Amino acid sequence: MTWTRSPAQADWDAVVAALTSGEKVLLLAHVSPDADALGSALAVGLALEARGVDVVVSYGDDPFVLPRVLRSLPGQHLLVAPDSLTPHPVVVSFDVSSIERLGVLREAAESAATFVAVDHHASYTGFAPLSLVDVTAPATAVLALELVDRLGVELSVDIATAVYSGLVTDTGSFKYAGTTPGTHEVAARLMRTGMRHDVVARHIYDDEPFAALRLLGAALDRSVLEESAIGGLGLVWTVVSADERDVLDLPLDAVERVIDVLRIATEAEVACVLKQDDTRAWRVSMRSKGRVDVSQVAMSLGGGGHRYAAGFTGHGEPGEVLRSVRAALDAAPHLPE
Q: Which of 134, 146, 158, 170 binds Mn ion (CB under 5 A)?
A: 170
Site string for Mn ion, 171-200 (x = CB under 5 A): ------------------------------
Task: Give the integer Cα–Cα distance in Å for 188 and 120.
Answer: 21
Q: Name the segment binding Mn ion (CB under 5 A); options: 4-12, 56-64, 165-173, 230-238.
A: 165-173
Least separation in angstroms between residue 337's CB and Mn ion is: 23
Nearer to Mn ion, 36 or 256 (CB): 36
Q: Is 140 in the site for Mn ion (CB under 5 A)?
A: yes
Let me know the angle formed at the C-alpha of 328 by 255 and 257, rounded to the nearest 5 degrees: 15
User: If DSSP codes are grouped into helix, strand and coil, which group holds residue 219?
Assistant: helix
Least separation in angstroms between residue 129's CB and Mn ion is: 21
Task: Give the integer Cα–Cα distance in Å for 53 and 29.
Answer: 19
Q: Name the segment binding Mn ion (CB under 5 A); options: 32-40, 107-115, 229-237, 256-264.
A: 32-40
Q: Is 134 in the site for Mn ion (CB under 5 A)?
A: no
The closest residue (CB) to Mn ion is 36
Query: Is the distance from CB of 127 to CB of 136 less than 8 angstroms?
Result: no
Packing angle between helix 140-150 and helix 181-191, nearest 10 degrees?
60
Nearer to Mn ion, 75 or 166 (CB): 166
Least separation in angstroms between residue 322's CB and Mn ion is: 26
Site string for Mn ion, 268-307 (x = CB under 5 A): ----------------------------------------
Let me know the angle formed at the C-alpha of 13 by 96 and 82, rounded to the nearest 5 degrees: 35
Q: Name the segment binding Mn ion (CB under 5 A); options: 63-71, 147-155, 167-175, 227-235.
A: 167-175
Least separation in angstroms between residue 205's CB and Mn ion is: 17
Nearer to Mn ion, 101 or 203 (CB): 101
Q: Which of 36, 61, 158, 269 binds Mn ion (CB under 5 A)?
A: 36
Query: Is the distance from CB of 169 to CB of 35 less than 8 angstroms?
Result: yes
Restricting to residues 90-109, name those near Mn ion by CB under 5 A.
95
Least separation in angstroms between residue 65's CB and Mn ion is: 20
Nearer to Mn ion, 36 or 146 (CB): 36
User: If DSSP codes are grouped into helix, strand and coil, which group holds residue 328?
Assistant: helix
Instruction: Decide: residue 319, CB within 10 A, 0-12 exposed, 13-18 middle, 19+ buried.
Output: exposed
Nearer to Mn ion, 140 or 179 (CB): 140
Nearer to Mn ion, 141 or 321 (CB): 141
Restricting to residues 38-77, name those near Mn ion by CB under 5 A.
none
Task: Give the integer Cα–Cα distance in Å for 56 and 42.
Answer: 9
Q: Which residues sit opposite 151 in a β-bridge?
A: none
Query: Is the distance from CB of 236 to CB of 226 less than 8 angstroms?
Result: yes
Nearer to Mn ion, 134 or 170 (CB): 170
Nearer to Mn ion, 93 or 140 (CB): 140
DSSP string of 40-103? HHHHHHHHHHHTT--EEEEE--SS-PPPGGGGG-S-GGGB--GGGPPP-SEEEEES--SGGGGG
Least separation in angstroms between residue 232's CB and Mn ion is: 31
Q: Left, alpha or beta for 172 (phi > 0: left; psi -120 to 50: alpha)?
A: left
Longest dimension (CA), the chain: 59
Nearer to Mn ion, 123 or 238 (CB): 123
Residue numbers of the site for Mn ion (CB under 5 A)? 36, 95, 140, 170
